[in-house]
A = this chain, B = another copy of it.
Amino acid sequence: MREYYLGLDLGGTKILTGLSDKNGKILARSRRETEADLGEEKIIANMIETVEDVLHKTGLSREDVKTLGIGSPGPLDSQKGIIIENSNLPWKNVPIKAKMEKKLNINTILKNDANAAALGEKWFGVGREVDNMVYLTISTGVGGGAVINKKLFTGVNDNACELGHTVIDPDGPLCGCGNHGCLESFASGTAIGRMAREAAEAGKSRVILELADNKIEDIDAVICAQAAYRGDKTAQEIFDTAAFYLGIGLGNFVNIFNTEMIVLGGGVMKASDLFLDKAIEKMEEIALPGPLEIVEVRESELGSDIGLMGAVAVAMEDRLIAHD
């Protein structure tokens, strides 16, 4: 009987796969390099290898697995199970669902990583307590997902909750999507790194420059955070700017989703003490009293497991709802 589940977190540099029992308990995990530069077939072979590895570790077979959930950066067509393109992987229009199903004979569901993470938080993270939540990942980019009445809000063709690509200041910086002033262009790790490089170039922060060994091109959000922790005023101002705009975004999401919880995750949240309080303060200004009253902002506690647990939650969503 198929009563186990697989979750596969497909990243640009690594693949992390876990095998879960029917309660979401991870029985085995396997991690390896994506080897994105070696092309489509090799990446898929590496994905299969991690699946075989967790099966081997647990003594289970493919026939024991009900569903494989995959979380991947987009854009993708998750209804058809196709990765349309991916800035980290050298592929276009790869029918990942069909390929995995053919090779493994396991029902496969593909979701974008932020949507998957939202489900992971709902079922295995701080979102367990609520039926309605918004998840925002603040990482290289800013991505989002929403759970409404326990279910992932997918939109009509699985493109809902592109929260990082909501314009909050049309005079803002150019975003990767081609628009100006998206939330992502202010509050992502990429944006913080860009502001730090601009500050260093303008001679505004010796600390930032020193931390990068005077190599402006090496300055990123991590270095900016290090400088801020050393008390560098310019670096802290950069986080203040990110906080201001993040707060606007959060306030907008409160007014739109009227949700019980907003969960924040992603690598930039490791430095949350540099910006989160100010962002929440701004959010409280923007949000209307009605929806503000019932919302709580929480930090993800799943850490680097968020991608894996998101993929497992994608695989298990129907079961989790049915047995809740």
Q: Does A159 contact B (CB under 8 A)?
A: yes
- Taking the nearest CB of chain B, how far is it from the CB of A277, in angstroms? 19
Q: Does the CB pair A157–B256 fall under 8 Å? A: no
When C-beta atoms are compared, the residue in chain B nearest to A157 turns out to be B294
Q: Which of A43-51, A196-204, A284-292 contacts B (4 or more CB under 8 A)?
A: A284-292
A148-B148, A168-B170, A286-B179 given; A162·B293 CB < 8 A: no
In the assembled complex, how far is the CB of residue A234 from the closest CB belonging to chain B, in whole angstroms?
21
Residue A193 CB within 8 A of the other chain? no
Is A259 an interface position by the 8 A CB rule? Answer: yes
The answer to whether A155 touches B259 (Cβ under 8 A) is: yes
Contacts of A38 in B (CB 8 A): none
When chains A and B are docked, how far (Å) is the Cα of A66 from the Cα of B290?
29
Instruction: Decide if A75 touches B290 in the complex (CB within 8 Å).
Output: yes
Q: How large is the interface on A (under 10, 10 to 19, 20 to 34, 35 or more residues)?
A: 35 or more
Known contacts A285-B179, A291-B160, A291-B162; A257 and B167 CB within 8 A of each other: no
Cβ contacts under 8 Å, A285 to chain B: 178-179
Contact call A251/B167, Cβ cutoff below 8 A: yes
Residue in B154, B166, B169, B179 whose beta carbon sits within 8 Å of that of A256 in the complex: B166
- Contact mask A213-245 → B, CB, 8 Å, 1/0? 000000000000000000000000000000010
**CB–CB A155/B252 < 8 A:** no
Q: How far is B168's CA from A286's CA once the two chains are assembled, in angstroms?
A: 11
The answer to whether A1 has its CB under 8 Å from any CB of chain B is: no
Q: In the complex, what residues of B have CB within 8 A of residue A257's CB?
A: 155, 160
Q: Please tell me if the beta carbons of B170 and A291 are within 8 angstroms of each other in the complex.
A: no
Query: Cβ of B291 and Cβ of A157 under 8 Å apart?
Result: yes
A248:B156 contact, CB within 8 angstroms: no
On whether the beta carbons of B167 and A293 are closer than 8 Å, the reply is no
Contacts of A121 in B (CB 8 A): none
Q: Mark A265-290, 1 if CB is under 8 A from B, else 0.
A: 00000000000000000000110111
* A288, B256: Cβ atoms closer than 8 Å: no
Q: List 26 A-B contacts (CB under 8 A).
A: A75-B288, A75-B289, A75-B290, A84-B290, A132-B156, A155-B258, A155-B291, A156-B260, A157-B290, A161-B256, A162-B256, A162-B258, A162-B288, A163-B256, A165-B286, A165-B288, A166-B166, A166-B252, A166-B255, A167-B168, A167-B252, A169-B170, A170-B248, A171-B171, A177-B288, A256-B256
The 10 closest A-B pairs by CB, nearest first: A155-B258, A159-B290, A160-B258, A162-B255, A159-B291, A166-B252, A159-B258, A167-B248, A165-B255, A156-B260
Listed in ascending order, the chain A residues whose CB lies under 8 Å from chain B are 74-75, 77, 84, 132, 148, 153-163, 165-171, 177-179, 244, 248, 251-252, 255-260, 285-286, 288-291, 293-294
For the complex with contacts A162-B288, A256-B256, 7 further pairs of A-B residues with Cβ separation under 8 Å are A132-B155, A148-B153, A157-B294, A158-B290, A160-B256, A160-B291, A170-B244
